Chains A and B, each alone.
Chain A
Amino acid sequence: MSKRPSHPETARTTLQKLLSRFHFGITLFAVALSGLTILLAGVTALRGHADRTLELAAELGAYGTEPALVFNDPQAAREGIEPLTGIPGIARLRVLDDRGRALTEWTSPGEDPAPLLTRLFFPHPFSVPVRRNGSVIGTVEIWGNSSTLTDYVRLGMLAGLACLLVTACGTIILARRFEYELVKPLNEIATVAHDVRLHRRFDKRVQTLPIAELDRLGGDINALLDELQGWQGHMEDERAMLAHRASHDPLTAMPNRAAFDEQLDRRVRAARLRGERLALLFIDADNFKAVNDGFGHAAGDAVLVALSNCIKEALRPGDFAARIGGDEFVVLADTIDGAGDAAALADRFRACADAPMTLPGGDIYHASVSVGAAVYPDDGSDAAALLTAADASMYADKLSKGSQG
């Protein structure tokens, strides 16, 4: 569990947050851009509209004030421009006679909402000459103001804001969904990788993912896991083999001295705990050196294998046998009732060993074994004592045979 190099916590962000931020930014940009475009287009269109309105209003004023100019009548002129005062977006009206003197003038009582916009969009008044049979008898001047524009911009801003909200909400929901679709498979891959690393679960695999790139990544990870699993299995086999080799004799495939020592300790402890009895038999081939010397080592090995087979056959389930030296074997037998059982077991070994065997050279050989037995707890209360007792018993057996023949 090695820690990754630690960055400041604030520098790290999740993929989801990153995507969310990007999505929001893009959405905001798009909506703002379109809103601005429409607003500008709208303002331009409205400005043209306002210009035409003012022009038409001026024409209407010119028509309405023509007799007034003919009669030089300010009241009639005022009445002539009165219909125009109801038109929104007109700040000021003026009717001039042919000598440029104002016959009547009207200023909108409403305040200009944005004088700057007015200066920008309506810097000059619309001026329409009033003609009577072709000759100019006066002029109608109209100043626009920004009221229609500001109304439009205000409403446009409000509508744009509402649109921004709606679009932002919609996009955020869609982005969330998209993020979920992307982040979920990534999380799945991460979970598998984490599981494998932390719990050695090499059998874990990434499921099929809906996104092609991530599925390929998952497939690669699965292939990697296959290889890892193969390596792992191979290593376990190797380790088991090594362990077996360390605790077994290669010739007879029986457990070796080390395995026996361990087994003896364990069984003595178990017998002591349970209050049971345990027999230790010590088996030694007689005159084994003579076999090696007389028939060669291959013959000796054959004898040893034959003996080991005898021992294995004679064992009951649960018994344990080991080769602890060149021609020395031991057997641990649980729940032996008494010395009689051990002696019966020893006799079975002897009988088996006594059977004639064909040596690799073709000679017939009768092996003989000396067997010594020790029973826990009668002959010894610990492993060493048992071994000593069994050894002594075996030697006694061997010596008795030597004295016989």
Chain B
Amino acid sequence: MLASLFLIGASWSLPQGALPPMTSQPASQAIVEDGPDGLTRAANRMTGGIISYVRWPDGQSGARRTLCVIGAPRLTRQVAPIVPSGPPVTVRPVAAADVGGGESCDILFLGRLSDSDRQRWIGWVRDRAVLTITDDDPACVRGAMFCLAPRQKGLGFSVNLDAIGRGGLRVDPRVLKIGQSDEDAA
């Protein structure tokens, strides 16, 4: 009898104590270190992070990926993704007009482009397993999957779920969640 009462006591004590949920702060962004290279490093780190959370349908998680830089990046002087223990990335510039030259690209980094070039590239990506990242679309409405954008105190990114849904890539939902909350914040 005594033991059963103790068990009852224990089961009562457990569900109790739901603490007030943490209040979410809308302003969120990656910390950008001070200095001239701070933003570049943050952008490259963010690009690398996104790449590391993306799975290509070929299933080779450690396979080398080719990142093609199209147009002039706005936030980074040089695109060099820092991928934490992820796949090695080769960076290759491709001329904005040369859509056929992107045949070997796994990742497109879209810098500043004309609307027509951008639309061409976005159209080219459709039905291909290619990740698109841009730093020239803070609202993330112009077709790229991930959009880097400066925030109040650093750097953030947004996701375009339509674009991700159209593409043939698998993206870790945790990253999508971060991107969405960033989108909300923006």
Contact = CB atoms under 8 A, between A and B. Distances in A.
A132 interface: yes
Contacts, number: 129
Chain B binding surface SS class = mixed
Nearest to A66: B174
Interface in B2-29: 2-3, 5-6, 8-10, 12-14, 16-22, 24-25, 27-29
B52 A70 contact: yes
* Residue among A38, A82, A156 with most chain B CB within 10 A: A156
Contacts of B27: 75
A221 interface: no
B175 interface: yes
Q: Which of B16, B49, B85 has the most CB of A within 10 A?
A: B49
Contacts of B10: 42, 46, 152, 155-156
Most chain A CB within 10 A, of B9, B20, B52, B177, is at B9
B53 interface: yes
Contacts of B49: 67, 70-71
A312 B176 CA distance: 144
A82 B21 contact: yes
Chain B contact-residue range equals 35 or more
Majority-rule SS of A interface residues: helix
Interface in B78-98: 84-86
B5 A79 contact: no
Contact of B5 (A71, A86, A162): A162
B85 A134 contact: yes
A159 B31 contact: no
Given A42-B6, A86-B19, 17 more contacts: A70-B84, A71-B45, A72-B31, A78-B22, A78-B25, A80-B174, A85-B21, A86-B18, A88-B14, A88-B16, A132-B85, A133-B61, A148-B13, A151-B16, A159-B2, A163-B1, A166-B1
Interface of A: 31, 34-35, 38-39, 42, 46, 63-64, 66-68, 70-76, 78-82, 85-86, 88-89, 106, 108-110, 132-135, 137, 147-148, 151-152, 154-156, 158-160, 162-163, 166
